[in-house]
Structures are given as C-alpha cells and as structure tokens.
Structure 1
Amino acid sequence: MVGRALSADLLKIRKRGIWFLVILGSLGLIAMQALNFGLRYDYLVGNIYKGDEWGGLVGEIFSFVPIALVLGATLIASQIANVEHLNNSWKQLLALPISRTAVFTSKYLVGVIALTAACVLLFAGTIGLGLALGFSTEHIPYLKILKLSFLPFLGALPMLALQLYLSLTFKNQALPIMIGITAAIATMFSANYPDLLPLAWPFLAYYAKPAMPVAAGIILFIVIYLFGTGHFVRKDVD
C-alpha cells in the first residue's frame, strides 16, 4: 500500500520543481566552490591547502552543507505538502482505498529520497570539481567525501521530519518556512552548540565521532514521524 502511494507521489512531484531544488542545492554548493577556488587558486592550493588539496576542498564545501541541508529540507517539505494543499485534494486523496498511515509515510519517503539524491549529486560533484581543479587522481579521499555527503544528512533528519510534519499539517506554509529559515541561519553557529542540540548534529556527524549524532538523528526522525502519523490519522482534513 505504501508502495502505491509512493509511486503516485513521485509522479505528482514531477512538475513541482522538487528535482530542480535537489539539483540546484547540490550543484550550487559545487559551483560556489568552483568560483572560490577559481578566483583564489594560487592562494588556496599553493598556500593554505598545499599537500592536502582534497581535504581543503572537502572542508570548504562542508562549511555550507548544514545550512544547505536545513534550507533544502524546508523547501522540499513545503513543495511536497503543496501538491495536496494547493489543489485542495486532501479529501479526495483520503477517500481512496488507502490508509492514512500509508499516505503520510509516502510523503516522508519522498522527502528522504529527494535529499538522498541531493547527497549523491554532492558526492559526484565534489569528485568532479576536484578533478577539474587538477587534484591528484591517486589520492581521492572517497571515504571523506562519503562522510561529507551523507553523515550530515543523517544528522539533519530530524529537521526534515519536523518540516514535513509542519508542512503537511498547516495549509499556510509561512510558519514552517519561517522556522526552517531561522534554523538554517542558526546552523551557522552549530560548532558552538551543546552536543545534545539537534541543530548541532549535522556538524557533529562529520567533525566528531559520528555514532551519537547519526544515531540520535535517525531515532528522533522516527519519533517525529510516529508522532506525526498519529496526529495525521486522527485529524480532520479540509
């Protein structure tokens, strides 16, 4: 049943600009660093990161990854919810012979799939940029780039879950978007936050031992999803 709902949702979002956001977010980070290294190549490669060019590239990209993840989660969640909100199609959707749990779960899966695709593009784009900049093909740090691309995403899962819950609950998207933008700005200072604060987890998932923030991110994602499912199953839908 979830599979049917997921297939339908993936068809619905084709014209909603979600895949454009996925590409723009991931390749936008790569383009930003292409410009950064292009303008300051001699300084960055010849001085700051001499002997560790790949590590320097990964570090420069990561400085923008947490804010991109939170903004991406906010915009993608809003677009997923607006498929039904703007068409006033919740009643028609829920009148179909499919459970509310499957409908709600499908929306969450679409969000996870979209951000996972963004992470895959970031991984490929980082390697491509490094090669384009002339970095050594013999010392590509695949594991470090995998960590850059996926561990912060796992730490940011609670924000995706929260944004999906808020966006699916409120027809007016002003509140979810305001919260998302505020959280994205706050991630700029995440290195100074306590380890137990979820906004710090995308940062800690890469720079600290990843077990705690990754596990905590996955667990809190599930908790928010279960809470949201219970609320969605019981609420009246306009």
Structure 2
Amino acid sequence: MKTALEQFTAAFKGETIKAKGTAAYWLTYAGPFFIIGIYLLAYFFKGHDMLPAKTDPWIPMVTRVWASASMVFLPMYLILLASQLLNLEHKNSAWRITYTLPYSKHVVFWSKFAMLLLLNVSAVVLTMILTLGLGVTLSIIKPDLGFLVANIPWKVAAALMFKVLACTMGILSIYYYVSFEVKNQVKSIGVGIGLFIITIIVASWEYAYLIPTFYPMTSGSAYIETIAKHTSMFTLKEIVVVSSYFFVFMVVAWYRTCHKRAAA
C-alpha cells in the first residue's frame, strides 16, 4: 500500500504529463513573452514619453508592466488555465477512470490543484524575470532611458511577485471549483469573463473589493502605491476577502470532488 506522499507524487507526475498535452503550457510560458514583447516595442519607440524625466526608470516601468499584466492577462490566464487542466476528464468522461487509479480521491484533488498552482507560480515568476530582462535590454539598446545607471529593484520585484500570487489564491480556488463542476469548457470560461467584466464596470464602487477578481486585477498597481505611501504590503480587507474566498471554495470543491463526484 503506497503512502499518501507516494500517491501524491505519482498522481502529480500524471497531471504533469496530461498538462503537456493542453494549451496550459502555452498559456503559461508564451503569454509572458507576448506581454513583454509589446512593452519592448513601446519603450523602444516611445520610451521618453512613457517614463518621467530625470527619475529612476525601473519602478515606473515595472509598475506599468505589472498593472497591465495583473489587470488583463492574469484573470483571463487563470480561468483558461483551470478550464484547460480539468477539461480532459470532462471531455473524455474520464472521471470514473480517474477514480479507479490507485490514489485516494483526496490525492486526485490536491494533485490537480498543485499542478494549477505550479503553473500559476511559473507564469508570475517568468513574467517578473522577463520584466527585469526588459529593463536590462533597454539599458543596452536605449541607454538614454536611464536603466543602465539605475539599480535593479530586486526587493520590489520579489515583494510584488509575492503580493500578486497571494492575491490570486481566492479567485484561483473559485475557478478550480467552477472548472470541476461545469463540464462545458465554454461555460466555465464564461464565468471568468463575466467576473472580469463586472470588475471593470464597478471598479470604482465602494464595495468592489468584495468581487473575487478585484484584488488579483489591482494587485500590481496596488503594491506600487504601498511603496509610495510606506504602508504594509497587505491591507486587512485583502487578507480577509482573499483568504475567505480561498477557504470556502477549496472546502466546497474538496467536498464535491471527494464525496459526490465519485458517483458522477
């Protein structure tokens, strides 16, 4: 009888193999290059217009890139990622086969979430590496922008990645649950697009922070504001809202997966 760790390791390897056959890998590793490629062209041709004069260009550049990445790329990426990873079982009606494997239902649940989390972390880390690489590239091809004489903000970059990742945990659990429950991939993606549109429409509303996509979409720009105001990285509202969504939807998803889907 395999231990829980051995089961998880084997199940996770299986998820890795299955994920390679989906668009999840392309979304994770090609998406950041697309974003940075756009900004490379923008700063090469319009850099002086995009950066404030006689100031350290790193923080404004990182701010602009991550405000766009967290506002547009991140919410769409997460729902597409979740739906892609779980669509194989839905598309092939393979849940019964999945549950005949020598793993417990709990292991199946957490191995899939671990794969989702790994790809999310990979996308965020890769985006930051490419963002810093963008500054280095600009220091070579456009030295007049000032990147060469300024220091790379390593601490800001690390803290920003951590904040963005933490703020995605709530919506990630929601998308994970939705992708488990909804067999039609188009419908599950529609849920994510709907939340994205709602957040855009009511972003200035007093209680917009209660919408699960609000903090992931504003996490990039919000952290830069904390630097300017010398405030803490996370507000109490962020901690309560994100952790509440994560806990509630992970518990519900776990219960549905481990206790009810066995009969599906």
Instruction: Give the alignment's TM-score, normalised by structure 2.
Output: 0.80
Q: CA deviation at 1:223?
A: 2.9
Q: CA deviation at 1:150?
A: 3.2
1:58 aligns with 2:62: yes
Aligned residues: 236
**In structure 1, C-alpha distance between the alignment counterparts of 2:115 and 2:239, rounded to whole Å:** 20
Q: CA deviation at 1:198?
A: 3.2
Q: Which residue of 1 aligns with 2:257?
A: 232
Amino acid at match of 1:185: I
Q: How do residues 14-25 of structure 1 correspond to structure 2 at under 5 angstroms?
A: 14-25=20-31
Q: Counterpart of 2:101 in 1: which secondary structure? A: coil
Q: CA deviation at 1:154?
A: 1.4
Q: CA deviation at 1:140?
A: 0.7
Unpaired runs of at least 5, structure 2 = 1-6, 140-146, 227-231
Amino acid at match of 2:213: L
- Point out the more displaced range, 70-79 or 146-155: 146-155
Q: Which residue of 2 aligns with 1:73?
A: 78
Q: CA deviation at 1:190?
A: 7.5
Q: Which residue of 1 aligns with 2:35?
A: 29
**In structure 2, C-alpha distance between the alignment counterparts of 1:187 and 1:33, rounded to whole Å:** 24
Q: CA deviation at 1:10?
A: 0.8
Q: CA deviation at 1:28?
A: 2.1
**In structure 2, C-alpha distance between the alignment counterparts of 1:108 and 1:150, rounded to whole Å:** 19
Q: Counterpart of 1:235 in 2: which secondary structure? A: helix
Over alpha carbons, which structure has the higher Rg? 2
**In structure 2, C-alpha distance between the alignment counterparts of 1:169 and 1:133, rounded to whole Å:** 46
Check whether the contact 1:70–1:160 (CA below 8 A) recurs between aligned residues: no
Q: Which residue of 1 aligns with 2:212?
A: 198
Between the two proteins, what is the percent identity of the paired residues? Answer: 25
Unpaired runs of at least 5, structure 1 = none
Amino acid at match of 1:15: G
The structure-2 alpha-carbon separation of the partners of 1:157 and 1:7, relative to structure 1 and needing over 3 Å to count, comes to same
1:6 aligns with 2:12: yes
**In structure 2, C-alpha distance between the alignment counterparts of 1:187 and 1:137, rounded to whole Å:** 39
Q: CA deviation at 1:172?
A: 0.8
The structure-2 alpha-carbon separation of the partners of 1:60 and 1:186, relative to structure 1 and needing over 3 Å to count, comes to farther
Give the alignment partner of residue 115 of structure 2, picking from 105, 110, 113.
Answer: 110
Q: CA deviation at 1:138?
A: 4.7
The structure-2 alpha-carbon separation of the partners of 1:3 and 1:137, relative to structure 1 and needing over 3 Å to count, comes to farther
Q: How big is each residue's C-alpha offset from its partner over 1:164-197, in whole Å with a ceiling of 9 and x where there is no partner?
A: 1111112112322111112233444676353444
Q: CA deviation at 1:60?
A: 0.9
Q: How big is each residue's C-alpha offset from its partner over 1:71-116, in whole Å with a ceiling of 9 and x where there is no partner?
A: 1110000111112122221111101221111111111111110010
